[in-house]
Amino acid sequence: MSRWLQAFIIAILGLAAGLFYGWRIAPVEYVNTTPDTLNQEYKNEYTLMVAEAYQDHGDLNLAARQLALLGSAHPAEIVQTSLDTADFNEQETEFVTALLDEIEAWQPSLGESGL
Amino acid sequence: MKFERIPWHLLIGLILGLGLGLVIAWGIAPAQYSDTPPSILRSDFKDSYRALIASAYASTGDFERAETRLAALEDTNPVEALTIQAQRELADSNIELSETLASLAKAIQDKNSPVEMELTSTPTQTQTPRVTSTVTIIVQGQEETPVPEGTPEAPIATPTEIPINTRTPAPTSTPIPTIGVPYILMTQDEICSENLSEGLLMVFVSDAAQKPIPGVEVIVEWGGNEEHFFTGLKPEIGTGYADFTMQPNQSYALRLATGSTAVANLSTPPCQDKDGNHYWGSLRLKFEHP
């Protein structure tokens, strides 16, 4: 086997080792993340908090702005996803469903940034 | 080992491959996070998350849930984080949100500083106890310290049955009730120091064990104006510390929102440096929770 081939094979092995180390053993540590990267469990909890707070303030625009932090989808979709994936109890489901009923017809008003 | 026996071509290949792999893994295509916890959110998003926790708590009153949610943010000191955010919201004129945040901070603080509230009663008394708006409290050897009606956060808030026709016995080993007891002004000092900002009104709040208390709302009033601020916003000075800048020749009154000795006629003391030049000094008030 030529020396070049040996060097090439070793380099490929080194590349694999480097990728394994950089992706698995010591991956880049993220800080300053955005809410859309949250684990779905936390997204569900966030949605529930929006629904609970909405029961108090009744401001649909505020609720929509808060939900917009979880992604660019329509707030109703975000709430629906939470309803589908979370294990809410009866009262929590009631809160979230009430929010969903209201927010399904919500449209951002002119001049609203969505955040 | 002979120098010429080192397989340089393999060594260089390995180093190049390893280096390229790390560049790709850390720089070009780093591992993507998609299931992150709230603790690594950017600070402004953490603020939004925290505000939502407080709003949900205000709506449901579910304290344990609020605590669990706050724990996910992994703040070193949740009370301090809430208090600082409340102060920022207050500065931005978001009064309602500020109060919501402060309310949760206070609830946590109250829970973390459990105090016993046991009032003395005479075992032989036979009269039917009646609820009264005045509570008898034994404080450090004093026989009776009536707490007037209207005192903020005074024991009035805790409906307690008190036999009003029975005098409290002289000092006993009964635990001292401390819930709602007003803060007491322990010291008031005028400070002439060129190292301090002129006209600084410094407030230090601590408990009986001299442990600083963050999140205490301080109210300063002057000429029909009023300003609220909280202790703990300058942790580098002290978690029980808050300050306010006074204008010269203006008289101020100060009190703690949860009830304290009211301090009136506060003004910047005149001072002179070593060359005889005039400057305004500072005031230092120390409050203690008995």
- Residue B13 belongs to a domain: no
Identify whether residues B138 and B94 lie together within a single domain. Answer: no
Contacts of B58 in chain A (CB under 8 A): 53, 56
B139 and B45 share one domain: no
- Nearest chain B Cα to A53, which residue? B56
* Residue B223, domain member (yes or no): yes
Q: How many domains does chain B have?
A: 3
Q: Rounded to the nearest 5°, which phi and psi values hold at B110?
A: -60, -40
Instruction: Inspect the interface and report whether the beta carbons of A6 and B9 lie closer than 8 Å.
Output: yes
Q: Which one, of B225, B224, B272, B270, lies nearest residue B244 by Cα?
A: B225
Q: Nearest CA to CA, how far is A105 from chain B (Å)? A: 23
Are the beta carbons of B56 and A52 separated by less than 8 Å? yes
Q: Does the residue B155 lie in any domain?
A: yes
- Residue B33 located in a structural domain: no
Domain boundaries, chain A: 1-32, 35-103
ipTM entry: 0.79
Question: Cα–chain-centroid distance for residue A26?
Answer: 23
Cα–Cα–Cα angle for B227, B230, B235, rounded to 5 degrees: 140
B17 → closest Cβ in A18, A55, A56: A18
Q: Which domain holds residue B76?
A: 38-112
Same domain, B48 and B76: yes
Spell out which residues of chain B touch residue A10, defining contact as CB-CB under 8 Å.
10, 13-14, 17
pLDDT per residue as tens, chain B (290 positions): 555 677 888 889 899 999 999 999 888 888 777 788 999 999 999 999 999 999 999 999 999 999 999 999 999 989 889 988 888 887 787 888 988 998 899 889 888 765 433 333 333 333 333 333 333 333 333 333 444 444 444 444 444 444 444 444 444 333 333 445 788 888 898 888 877 788 889 999 888 888 888 888 899 999 888 998 888 777 767 778 888 999 988 999 999 988 887 888 899 999 888 888 888 888 999 988 87
| Both tokens assigned to A50 | 């929006």
Is the domain of B99 the same as that of B141? Answer: no
Q: Is B115 exposed, middle or buried (0-12, 13-18, 19+ CB in 10 A)?
A: middle
Using a CB-CB cut-off of 8 Å, the residues of chain B touching A50 are 52
Residues B188 and B97 in one domain: no
The confidence score (pLDDT) of residue A80 equals: 96
- CB B196: neighbour CB atoms within 10 A? 16
Measured distance CA(B55)–CA(B196) in Å, rounded: 38
DSSP string, chain A: --HHHHHHHHHHHHHHHHHHIIIIISPPPP-SB-GGGB-HHHHHHHHHHHHHHHHHH--HHHHHHHHHTT-SS-HHHHHHHHHHH----HHHHHHHHHHHHHHTT--PPTT----
- B136 and B209, same domain (yes or no): no
Q: So what's the pLDDT on residue A85?
A: 95
Across the interface, of A9, A37, A46, the residue whose CB is closest to B33 is: A37
Instruction: Note whether B99 and B164 are same-domain residues.
Output: no
> CA angle, A78 as apex, A74 and A82 as ends, to 5°?
165
User: CA neighbours within 13 Å on the CB side: how many for A11?
Assistant: 13
Q: Among B8, B12, B57, B60, pick the best mutation site for testing chain A contact (most A Cβ within 10 A).
A: B60
Contact residues of A toward B, CB < 8 A: 3-4, 6-23, 27-28, 30-35, 37-40, 42, 45-46, 48-50, 52-53, 55-57, 66, 69
B199 and B274 both lie in a single domain: yes
**How would you label B210-232 residue by residue, b for 16+ Cβ within 10 Å and e otherwise?**
eebbbbbbbbbebeeeeebbbbb
Structure tokens, B41: 């959110």
Q: Has residue B167 been placed in a domain?
A: yes
Say if pTM beats, i.e. exceeds, 0.80.
no
User: What count of other Cβ atoms lies within 10 Å of the Cβ of residue A76?
Assistant: 18
Q: Write out B264-279 in H/E/C secondary structure.
A: EEECCCEEECCCCCEE
**Which positions in chain B touch A3 (Cβ < 8 Å)?**
9
CB nearest to A10's CB, from B14, B21, B52? B14
pLDDT at B213: 84
Quick check: is B202 in a domain?
yes
Q: Is B1 part of a structural domain of the chain? A: no
Residues B85, B129 within the same domain: no
Taking CB atoms and an 8 Å cutoff, what residues of chain B touch A27?
25, 30-31
CA-to-CA distance for A76 and A101, rounded, in angstroms?
8
Residues in A touching B20 (Cβ below 8 Å): 11, 14-15, 18
Answer whether residue B6 is part of any domain.
no
User: pLDDT of A9-49, one tens digit each?
Assistant: 999 999 999 999 988 898 887 778 889 999 999 999 999 99
Q: What is the pLDDT of residue B134?
A: 33
